[in-house]
Chains A and B, each alone.
Chain A
Amino acid sequence: MKSAVEILGIEKRFGPTVAIEHVDLAIDEGEFLSLLGASGCGKSTLLRIIAGFESPTRGRIKIQGEDVTGWPPHRRPSNIVFQRGALFPHMNVFDNIAYSLRLRKWPRKRIAEKVEEMLALVRLEDLGHRGANELSGGQIQRVALARALAAEPRVLLLDEPLSALDLKLREQMQLELRTIQRQLGATFVFVTHDQTEALVMSDRIAIMNQGHLVQLGTPREIYTRPASVFASAFIGQTNLIRCTVAAVEGSTVTVEIGGQRMPAASPASLSPGEPATLSVRPEAVRVHRIGPEAPFGIDAKVAEIIYLGSSIRIGAAINGDAIVWADLRDEEAEGLTPGMDVRLAWPPTAIVWKETSK
């Protein structure tokens, strides 16, 4: 498949600080790709390098095969939606959306048609003559989106466009954005620090950490097969339990947690006696009452019970120390009380990571 954007060996330094450390990434035509990471991880800088607001210290950017490195932003076939919309405050909605078209000297009639089309796309048909200062937060981002799309970009860049909105509106806009992207078949590169947002919207997610591209994959791949402790902790919630490697048989590893043993999977080669970290998601942990029918597992004591609405979260202490969280359905949690002895079990797909220095 042809690439919409190719990021080739991009590196960015601000003086002595490294913002991006050698990132290679090819974004497919018609793909919704999210750049996900905590603030300061370099994701926004990478987006701004694609847009042309920053020049990379090293590396090249290609858009649809054309090398645009060094092109000024106004020559690039990409357009951006800013975090706070960045609407021109002295223009109304129509003029905002028409701005790029007027610069291209489109005939008046064609501009009017295009703006109407864009307004319909973002469902703001009647707001063309509204001032930019008279819009709500959601409307601002819709106009910003319409304005960027009106320029008919070959790739649309979105810099945390929903982060200023409240949760309800954000969730609604996530779906709308996704629908618009499908409808147009356009390439979207979406920067976010919100992992749920990335999971909901993306075809693929690129996780960044401290200027590095940590993992690239579909939401499912990233959630079920994180490539590192960082990725597993960053996407969704997970228990990180310190343990020791007891035995290794092929890709299956037996680990020891507080004197008790459990099997687990390991992507890295581990040797017996090595300290390691076990990562298991709360929804994978089962809590059983101690008894003859209790399956093989690790004994623990219920320490906390937290009501979450759709589920109940149980915190269980192993040897009165490490707390393992488990998300249970209402009926599964029935009868559990703090101080109760329980047995924790999880599928052997839980992953063990090498204990790294950090």
Chain B
Amino acid sequence: MVGRQRSSVLAAAYVVLVLLFLYLPVAVTVMFSFADSPRLSMPIEGLTLDWYRRAFSNPLMGVAVRNSVILAAVSAIAAGALGAGFAFGVIRMKSRRLRGVLLGASLLPAVIPLLVIGISLAVAFSAIGWLQGLRNAAFGHVLVCLPFVVLTMNARLETFDFSILEAARDLGASPFRAFLDITLPIIRPSILGAALLAAALSLDEFVVTWFNIGSQQTLPVLVWGLVRRGVDPSINAVASLLLFSLICLVGISNLSAWRRRR
């Protein structure tokens, strides 16, 4: 009994340490975005909103936000639709082997370093004469988001009861009608959740963007530029804003999943 208690205390301590390790960077970023002194060190002497003001006065900020929003929207819609279709198709496959192979293949882009994906896309686009820019980056974003959309959708479709589609057909609905009346309303929250996840991934995407966007800006590209130029506390402000929008997106995504399970 005592041994058991001690081991669960150890376990809890371990979990707390890991969470600290994972969230320390987040805490530091948000903390220093409000810290008075430009030197990023302890102790913090006062609080200020100056860094946010400075971030917004950056002429590139507006463009970066606009482009990031465009990319996130494109990723959400395109990766959401493509990934949902793929997951739906895979789950209807009868062969277990084939399902495994297709799922595995669809996850490949998540294991290949983004660097390699980024440069290979850059090469392919330049081969067909597409100049670097937002369009190229968008195609890259959709590719990077797809595996995660497929994974999420696949998990949510696992509990989908296909016999209700047969029931609808049996009661007189054409295949299209059954899709409209039954499939779509049921999987809509799942697709929405997956799409929001894609938006979050896109919003945070840097590497593939960096090799394909040319001289355009996105929020992460802007952060990168600031970081390369030196220590500038307004980085923390931009980063905090990015973090905030990411958490919102993932939060809503989870909420839609939770509502579905209710």
Say whether A associates with B: yes
Residues on A with C-beta less than 8 A from B177 are: 103
Which stretch from A73-81, A279-287, A293-301, A331-339 is at the chain B interface? Answer: A73-81
Asked if B163 is an interface residue, CB under 8 A from chain A, the answer is: yes
Known: A89-B186, A90-B186, A103-B177. A151 touches B161 (CB 8 A): no
SS of B interface (majority): helix
Contact B166 A88, beta carbon cutoff 8 Å:
no
Asked if A53 is an interface residue, CB under 8 A from chain B, the answer is: yes
Asked if A326 is an interface residue, CB under 8 A from chain B, the answer is: no
Contact B172 A88, beta carbon cutoff 8 Å:
no
Asked if B173 is an interface residue, CB under 8 A from chain A, the answer is: yes
Known: A73-B166, A82-B166. A103 touches B186 (CB 8 A): no
B169, B170, B173, B185, most chain A CB atoms within 10 A: B170
Asked if B114 is an interface residue, CB under 8 A from chain A, the answer is: no
Cα-based distance from A88 to B187 in the complex (angstroms): 12
A72, A80, A84, most chain B CB atoms within 10 A: A80
Contact B161 A80, beta carbon cutoff 8 Å:
no
CB under 8 Å from chain A, chain B span 149-180: 161, 163-164, 166-174, 177
Contact A84 B161, beta carbon cutoff 8 Å:
yes
B163, B168, B171, most chain A CB atoms within 10 A: B171
Contact A100 B161, beta carbon cutoff 8 Å:
no
Contact A103 B173, beta carbon cutoff 8 Å:
yes
Residues on B with C-beta less than 8 A from A72 are: 169, 174
Distance of B261 from chain A, by nearest CB (Å): 11
Residues on A with C-beta less than 8 A from B167 are: 80, 82, 86-88, 144, 147
In the complex, the number of residue pairs spanning A and B with C-beta atoms less than 8 Å apart equals 66
Of the candidates A52, A90, A103, the one whose C-beta lies within 8 Å of that of B171 is A103
Residues on B with C-beta less than 8 A from A104 are: 172
Contact A73 B170, beta carbon cutoff 8 Å:
yes
Interface code A175-195, partner B: CB below 8 Å = 1, 0 otherwise? 000000000000000000000
Of the candidates B164, B171, B174, B182, the one whose C-beta lies within 8 Å of that of A151 is B171
Asked if A223 is an interface residue, CB under 8 A from chain B, the answer is: no
Contact B163 A88, beta carbon cutoff 8 Å:
no
Residues on B with C-beta less than 8 A from A87 are: 164, 167
Distance of B93 from chain A, by nearest CB (Å): 15
Asked if A93 is an interface residue, CB under 8 A from chain B, the answer is: no
Interface code A88-128, partner B: CB below 8 Å = 1, 0 otherwise? 11100000000110011000000000000000000000000
Asked if A351 is an interface residue, CB under 8 A from chain B, the answer is: no
**Chain A interface (Cβ within 8 Å of chain B)?**
51-53, 72-74, 76, 78-80, 82-84, 86-90, 99-100, 103-104, 144, 147-148, 151
Q: Nearest 3 pairs between A and B by C-beta?
A: A100-B171, A86-B163, A86-B167
